[in-house]
Amino acid sequence: MDDLDAAARQEALRRLDVLVGEWAVEAEFAGLPPSVGHSVFEWTLDGQFLLQRTRAPKPAPDSMAIVAVVPEAGGEYTYHYYDSRGVVRLYSMTFADGVWRLLREAPDFSPLSFRQRFTGQVGDDGNTIHGVWDRSADDSAAWEKDIVFTYRRSE
């Protein structure tokens, strides 16, 4: 890896620092009262990957995700997701200007029975993230709000 690639990689990793820490996660599922879970983001493997571990608000499954920089994609990331149901998914991810986006539109380790996207906005103080998961049955279907998440820094 040349110095330019290493510098771009380090900049992409540095942008994720705002996520590092412990978060209370409140979820709003349609027709259910809000529920609260817990999520921790921490650097792993000498700071080359960001690990997210989540004790999910019910009825969502507990999960783990590993965020990796995609060097050839100019600061984009992959978000490798694993959960307590045995589901494995791969999302494309961006994180810029306080906006966190995840997108899954193709089958990967799991069949694609619906498309998913997440958009989260980091608050000005860096201690809240308001986000929405949307889903769509297929390429021609409109996106529909699925779950609303609010992360609040708890440390």
* Residues 18-48: tens digit of each pLDDT: 999 999 999 999 888 889 999 999 999 999 9
Cα distance between the two ends of the chain:
36
Query: CA 127: distance to chain centroid?
Result: 16
Q: Who wins on pLDDT, 106 or 89?
A: 89
Q: What pLDDT score was predicted for residue 8?
A: 85
Q: What pLDDT score was predicted for residue 110?
A: 82
Strands (E), 1-122: 21-29, 35-44, 49-55, 63-70, 76-83, 88-96, 99-104, 115-122
| Among 139, 89, 91, 137, residue whose Cα is nearest residue 114 | 137
Rounded to the nearest integer, the mean pLDDT of the chain is 91
Q: What pLDDT score was predicted for residue 47?
A: 95
| Among 62, 99, 100, residue whose Cα is nearest residue 79 | 100
Helix (H) or strand (E) holding 12: helix 3-15
Q: Which residue has the tokens 């999302």?
A: 91
Task: Work out the percent of the chain whose per-residue pLDDT is above 90.
Answer: 70
Quote the pTM value: 0.90
Report residue 74: phi and psi, to 5°.
Answer: 60, 45
